[in-house]
Chain A
Amino acid sequence: MAVARNYKDYGSALWKRIFLTRESAVFAGLIIVIIVASVSVKHFAAPITMTYLLLDITPILLLALPMTLVIITGEIDLSVASTAALASVTLGTLHQGGMPLEAAALVAIIVGAIAGALNGFLITVVGLPSLAVTIGTLALYRGLAVGLLGTTAVTDFTEFWKDLAKSKIGATAIPSVVILVIVLAIVFAIVLHFTQFGRGIFAIGLSPEAARFSGVHVERTKFILFVLSGGVAALAGIFYTLRFSSARGDNQTGLELAVIAAVLLGGVSIFGGKGALHGVLAGVLLIGTLGSALRLASVTSDVINIITGTLLVASVVSTSVLAWIRSKRSKPGGRKPETVPATKS
């Protein structure tokens, strides 16, 4: 007869569960980078650095939020940067044609949502693999963006909105757009970690079949996620356009790589089913801070790209290696508890 054992014997200590997670490692890395940079890089510890840093990473942060959810379900969306560019071009073209900026922005967000819906349709209804679809839409949306404007850029936007994009909160160095990002991040975090919908997302990532049999609407969930991805990408595109006052088909080329790198660095598993939003936030901040510090130290952007690429590869390989080590360490039948009660009942 089985010996009654306390479930606590199978758990690990609380401090281990907090500080030995992947997300904490990224946070630790972030703190280390900030400290080292503040000490060794001239001008890093100035408020204006934080302003530029936050403005620079806002598009990446915005894109990373829905991307996290998409990757956790086991899919991927490579078309986010192209959707952002398409929204940016829509905004520029409509505004140039005389539409007020607010209305044009609304249309741009709708365009982004439609773009995401097309992705979602092809993936959930037609049943195509998301990698292939989003490679195709990456080209298609970017092509539409470039086609609409050629290689010109619309650079004339209402002063009010341009200033708002770059304005700061009161007298601090923090850009106001951070408020928007934090609100969105909290919403996404709540949805992912504290709602049934979010649990469904994890379930789909771990096993779509099991999720379906458990009552999760797999197709509907994925479709919603891709629409969200497109809409938020449009937001990021609008912000980028207003910040640089340049709506151009070529905007933000290659941004999807930075987003995926940050998401994977933050502990989200590429295979799906695992990940947390605070890790992703730390990942984005880490890559952004590292880039900012290196740029200030006059390191050229190619070296920064090499470092970003290496971080991406290392983070994924390390997860694999750790899993391999763990599988070697665990004995068949699971870990035995520390104290083995010898009595039979």
Chain B
Amino acid sequence: MLFQNLTRSSGARRVGAIAALTLSVALVATGCAATDEPGAEGGGDANLAITFVPKNLGNAYFDTSDKGGAEAIEEFGGTYDEQAPAEGTPDGQVSFINTLTQQGVGGLAVSANDPTAICDALNEAREANVKVVTFDSDTDPECRDIFINQATGEGIAKIQVDLIAEQIGDEGQIAILSATANATNQNAWIELMKADLEANHPNIELVDVVYGDDDDQTSFDKTAALLQTYPELKGIVSPTTVGIAAAARYLQTSDFKGKVALTGLGTPNQMRDYVTDGTVTAFALWNPADLGYLAAYAAKALIEGEITGAEGDEFEAGKLGDYTVGENGTVLLGDPYTFNADNIADFDF
């Protein structure tokens, strides 16, 4: 009986294995011989299908920027889509970029989680004739055609340092609550902030930089940990809208409300409550909707061949007017703006 079982199963197994090999070969042959559908409809009419790939989903800042992009795309008659991973990891964006390359979109507007991790995917996309615009957080310049910067890095860093210095009397301990550890823009701004502090604010000590991963719960818990670990802390700077909102929410119900200053980059809608009740005095940002809007128009200009991303190229961006491409393929949106109790009621984003 045992022997029979062995024969039966091993015989069937051998045949099964051969069948498996045949079928695998068939699969491979299918792939090889398949008709090569063009990856992107290049040539003739412009493909104005533009997809936004922000750092992650569920982030109010990107909701606004992508809505701005959608508005622009509707204006010039293209197709809008938004794809992003749930968590802001560097490799998370790669599979979406790959899929979009396969689907043959016309252009991508990406806010990168890491300067180099998505480079290969982006370059593959560009080889397939997809135009790549980065906004908000850049990659290496070799991987993209144009970068839409919301403001100069120095300006963004300076305004936050100025705000916190003003709020704590220009001396004491501060900490930074950042987003993810790899984000290009965060790291750029943090370096500039450190330089500014060293040069202009010798009495302010930066004790720690913690990462909330642009996740609300993590940022919330990290704020609590900061306040406990550094009892002398006088201020927190959070250059990310998710971080500052979570930190404000924690401060609002803690003993430290009013004693520890909080500033950074936040959206008026999220921060309105906290400014009204005094948890936060002032914070800064720009208009993310304008950022997305400009990115969409830049993509359009690239797709239609109007510009190539070289320095000096000019293109028009709907209601925002005309823009010129600067050094390194960068386009500057404008200057950051300070929100406080006086003007926060005027904005809705």
Interface residues of A (CB under 8 A from B): 7, 10-11, 14, 17-18, 21, 23-24, 27, 30-31, 34, 38, 42-43, 45-50, 52, 56, 150-153, 155-156, 162, 166, 172-174, 189, 193, 244-246, 248, 250-251, 276, 278, 281-282, 285, 295-296, 298, 301
- Please choose the segment from B113-121, B242-250, B312-320 that sits at the chain A interface, where 4 or more of its residues have CB less than 8 A away: B113-121
Whether the Cβ atoms of B20 and A153 lie closer than 8 Å is no
Contact indicator B89/A52 (Cβ below 8 Å): no
A7 CA to B6 CA, complexed, in Å: 13
For the complex formed, measure the closest distance between the CB of A167 and the CB atoms of chain B, giving whole angstroms: 12
Q: How far is the CB of A184 from chain B (nearest CB, A)?
A: 14
Is B103 on the interface with A (CB-CB < 8 A)? Answer: yes
How many Å from the CB of B119 to the closest CB on chain A? 7
B32 x A172 contact (CB < 8 A): yes
User: Which residues of A lie under 8 Å from residue B13 when comparing CB positions?
Assistant: 193, 276
Contacts known (A155-B115, A244-B94); A23 close to B211, Cβ less than 8 A = no
Bound together, the chains give a CA A17 to CA B37 distance in angstroms of: 40
**B residues less than 8 Å from A162 (CB atoms):** 120
Interface check B213, CB cutoff 8 A = yes
B342 at the interface (CB under 8 A from A): no
Q: For residue B79, give the distance in angstroms from its CB to the closest CB of chain A.
A: 12
Q: A18-B16, A34-B27, A193-B13 are in contact. Are A151 and B120 (CB under 8 A)?
A: no
Contacts of A301 in B (CB 8 A): 85-86
B91 touches A251 (CB 8 A): yes
The reply to whether B102 and A296 contact each other, CB–CB distance below 8 Å, is yes
A296-B96 Cα distance, complex, nearest whole Å: 10
A38 is contacted by which of B16, B34, B86 (Cβ under 8 Å)?
B34
Inter-chain CA distance A266–B299, complex, in Å, is 45
- Residue numbers in A under 8 Å from B86 (CB-CB): 301
Q: Which of B13, B31, B115 has the most CB of A within 10 A?
A: B31
Q: Give the dominant DSSP class at B's interface.
A: helix
Interface contact B181-A152, CB-CB below 8 Å: yes
- Which residues of A sit under 8 angstroms from B120, Cβ to Cβ? 162, 166, 245
B46 within 8 A of A: no
Are B34 and A7 interface neighbours, CB within 8 A?
A: no
- Alpha-carbon distance between A173 and B33 when the two chains are bound, in angstroms: 10
Contact indicator B103/A282 (Cβ below 8 Å) = no
Which B residues touch A298, using CB under 8 A?
Answer: 81, 103
> B19: which A residues are within 8 A, CB to CB?
18, 24, 27, 278
Which B residues touch A49, using CB under 8 A?
31, 102
Cβ contacts A to B, 28 pairs, < 8 Å = A7-B4, A11-B8, A18-B16, A21-B12, A21-B16, A34-B30, A42-B37, A45-B34, A46-B37, A48-B102, A48-B128, A49-B102, A50-B31, A52-B102, A56-B95, A150-B211, A151-B180, A151-B211, A155-B182, A174-B31, A174-B32, A193-B10, A193-B17, A248-B90, A278-B17, A281-B20, A282-B20, A282-B23
